[in-house]
A = this chain, B = another copy of it.
Amino acid sequence: MSTPIDFYFDFGSPYAYFAAARIDALAARHGRTVRWRPVLILALFKATGALPAPMIPLRGPYAERDTARTAQLNGIAYRQPANFPQLLLAAPRATLWIDTEYGADKAAAFARRCFEAYFAEGVDIGQDDEVVRLAEEQGVDGARLREAMHGAAIKDQLRKAGEEAIARGVFGVPFMLVDGEPFWGFDRFDQMERWLTQAAAVPAAA
């Protein structure tokens, strides 16, 4: 059996959204599945001393132009959210909880919906109510989710997810691990695809 692609993401990253819009189809073309792994990019940035691009002189304006252009050239619906950037906690916590309670497929479907809602539909997923609503659309028990989202257990789980990611060399999002090979950024999807093609041709190598 081929191993799943580990896909690390933060809901606040436009590039993670682009990756989220394309990764399942890419994986399927190579007989792979995707393990969706929410992390907080700020936790990763602590490990490297990095700052979010929108807060960096010159890079902020470029990032705005580059995300719009990347969306357009890839045919992905995108508009920068009104409340951007912001620290998004409810969505990644909910994803982890849904993963535990309902399984990985439901968690991935929910995560995809959160990304679309935030980056294409103008929904502010920084609001608990919106996150719960999107979860309920997926058949999740909203009342239980709402309670779990603020519990110590889920906060601890998200913190540990970040530590585990850093231990595997993850320092940004989107970040993909394919049989241990690291790919950082939506702009590495072409390299990841070629890597998967080679891995299929010579299964033992890599």
Contact = CB atoms under 8 A, between A and B. Distances in A.
A58 B170 CA distance: 7
Contacts of A48: 56-59
Contacts of A62: 169, 171, 182, 184
A46 to B, nearest CB: 10
A106 interface: no
Contacts of A195: 69
A71 to B, nearest CB: 11
Contact of A171 (B58, B182, B190, B191): B58
Interface string A164-200: 0010011100000000001011011011001100000
Contacts of A143: none
Interface in A57-77: 57-59, 61-62, 65-66, 69-70, 73
Contacts of A66: 182, 184, 188
Interface in A105-149: none
A77 to B, nearest CB: 18
B58 A169 contact: yes
A188 B188 CA distance: 11
A200 to B, nearest CB: 16
Contacts of A47: 57-58
